[in-house]
Structure 1
Amino acid sequence: MAFSAPAADTRVKDVSIGENELSVRLMDGRTISVPLGWYPRLAGATPDQRKHWEIAGGGYGIHWPEIDEDLSTDGLLRGAPAPRRG
Structure 2
Amino acid sequence: MMKTEGQIKETISLTASEKEYPSIISLHCEKHKITATLSDGRITSIPTAWFKRLRQASLEQLQNYEIAFDGYDIHWPEIDEDISVKAFIEGLKN
TM-score by length of 1: 0.73
Q: How many residues align?
A: 75
Match of 1:45 among 51, 57, 68: 57
The whole-number CA distance in structure 2 between the counterparts of 1:77 and 1:58 is 16
Q: After superposition, where does 1:1-86 map in structure 2 within 5 Å?
A: 10-56=22-68, 58-80=70-92
TM-score by length of 2: 0.68
Which contiguous aligned blocks of 4+ residues in structure 1 show a shift greater than 3 angstroms?
A: none
Q: RMSD of the alignment, in Å? A: 2.2
CA apart distance, 1:18: 2.1
Q: Secondary structure at the match of 1:37?
A: helix
Give aligned-pair identity as a percent. 36
Q: Secondary structure at the match of 1:52?
A: coil
Unaligned runs of 5+ in 1: 1-7
CA apart distance, 1:31: 1.3
Q: Secondary structure at the match of 2:89?
A: helix
